[in-house]
Amino acid sequence: MKRTSIIGLCLAAVCAMFAIGATSAFAVEGSLEFGKCVAKAGGKFSNAGCTKLATKPENEKDEWEPLEGKVFPFTSAKKATTGNAVLESKGGNSVSCTGLKQTKGEYGPGKDEVKNVVGEFSGCEGLSAKCSNEGKAAGLVNTTKLHGELGVVTRLATNEEKNTDGSDLRGQAGEFLAEFSCGPVPILTRAGILTKVGAVVNGVFKSNTNKMLSKSTVEFKAAPGAIQEPEVWEPQGTGVTHTSKAKVTEHLEAEFGAPPAPFEQSSESLVVEQKSLPTTAKIEVRQCKQGAKAGGACP
């Protein structure tokens, strides 16, 4: 195989553990970012998420430390109590993997950047055969390095701190995500996969934005017809995976068979648990109102 890529990945949690700051129009950089809120006497903020400016000296107790210029490692694995990781195309082709772990991945050094993420899938089967990368044992499929950036999935006009945020994963070295074979059939995936910052708990989506966390659950969700949910969002546009902050549609595409087999719209179903490294460290995705003139708290 000459092209390198990956099966869709379960690292939606990639955003789940950081605090982000997002404006309603992305007019000002720095409003949506990774970092941490630390207790500090004389700090600018009055709350543990660093989204509310202190208005009195006695409330100056927290400070925001952006991740920019540093890296923060994390790991993840398929949640044990959930079903298989499934890649499915609109044409009905599918690949199912019983396991997934990710031991390599970093936030930073860009303020909204995720990079060097490698997913290691096991127990993979599709098209009535075991699946694997070239040179790997049957059932084992690794992604190549993936990267992504933060953005907004749904805006709340009255309170941007309540926006639903997201992150994507795309090939770090090119358009392809994964390349492998199931029996004699070559399979290639490309484009990107999008997930919300948070997960569904007891049937209700719970955002992980503006929370200091050391571990989190993230869900890649697919609807019938190989439709990824969500698939429309507004990326930061800082050049990690997108150079524009315009709303875009983003989902996986998969080629089942050698060219000229068509690429089909595809989706992935997967629930993962993500942990910071070391596991005692906490990180946040901060989203807060931008600009002092508008009454905002993000510097």
Tens of pLDDT along the chain (299 residues) come to 333 333 444 444 344 443 333 333 333 333 789 999 999 999 999 999 998 889 999 999 999 999 999 999 999 999 999 999 999 999 999 999 999 999 999 999 999 999 999 999 999 999 999 999 999 999 999 999 999 999 999 988 888 888 899 999 999 999 999 999 999 999 999 999 999 998 888 888 999 999 999 999 889 999 999 999 999 999 999 999 999 999 999 999 999 999 999 999 999 999 999 999 999 999 999 998 765 444 556 66
Q: Is the pTM of this model over 0.85?
A: yes
Q: Which two tokens stand for residue 126?
A: 């599709």
- Count the neighbouring beta carbons within 10 Å of the beta carbon of residue 189: 30
What are the angstrom distances between the C-alpha of 90 and each of 7, 74, 191, 241, 266?
16, 32, 15, 24, 6
Of 104, 102, 85, the closest CA to residue 189 belongs to: 85
